[in-house]
Copies of this chain bind each other. A is one copy, B any other.
Amino acid sequence: MPRPAPKVSDQPDQDSGTSQHDRRSQAMRARICRAAIACLDRYGYAETSFARVQEKAGVSRGAITHHFPSKQALVAATALVLLSKALEPARNRDSSDAPMPVHALILASWDSVVNSAGGRAMVEILSACRSDRALHALLADKLHDWDRQSRRSITRHYVGTDAEDAELLWSIARSFLRGLILHEQFTADPAYLGRMVERFARMMETQLHLRPPG
């Protein structure tokens, strides 16, 4: 028995990243995913090709195909990066800091999550999931998990009219903000989107409230 079996999983272990191989590898993956986000935002899922990502990231073709066996695998990995980012605004309020008021939470979600390169890339990915079976197979479970996590995170700090109302309302808010990205095609005035967010936040704070302490 000469040596240990080579790593099979493409999901790196918790304690990996210590060796030079792993560190280089992770850095390359992150670099490629960052380029993929930019391409998804600018060109959309269909026009996001290996060639485009390769150019944007400044890496070789082989580097991409080595880490991601297919286009779907690349986009799925990129989606996981985006999802973990999208959980942060709620997560950093979990422990010591006080949660934001509903109005501020919605405005912040729009400004720093949905209406950003990452947010627009995520819309592209969700849209692609509808028709790309391979992508759907790679992402469906992860999206369901993330959704559960997001809803649980909200009910910890906010309440509606009953127990499950808060998560229902927050799902509504997420849907609205996502739809707003597409609404940009209907109006030439970008400020109108801001007015919509503001009005929506005003409506939401009549239904969703900070959970009273204790």
Contact = CB atoms under 8 A, between A and B. Distances in A.
Interface of A: 42-47, 120, 123-124, 126-132, 136, 139-140, 143-144, 146-147, 165, 168-169, 171-172, 174-188, 192, 195-196, 199-200, 203-204, 206-207
Given A123-B182, A175-B179, A176-B179, 15 more contacts: A42-B131, A43-B131, A124-B127, A126-B185, A140-B188, A165-B199, A171-B183, A171-B192, A172-B196, A172-B199, A175-B176, A175-B182, A176-B176, A179-B180, A179-B182
A195 B169 CA distance: 10
A177 to B, nearest CB: 7
A186 B167 CA distance: 13
Contacts of A165: 199
A181 to B, nearest CB: 8
A130 B47 contact: no
Contacts of A46: 44-47, 128, 131
14 contacts: A42-B131, A43-B131, A44-B46, A46-B128, A129-B185, A139-B185, A168-B196, A172-B200, A175-B176, A175-B183, A176-B176, A203-B203, A203-B204, A206-B206
Contact of A144 (B129, B188, B203): B188
A89 to B, nearest CB: 17
A109 to B, nearest CB: 13
Contacts of A204: 203
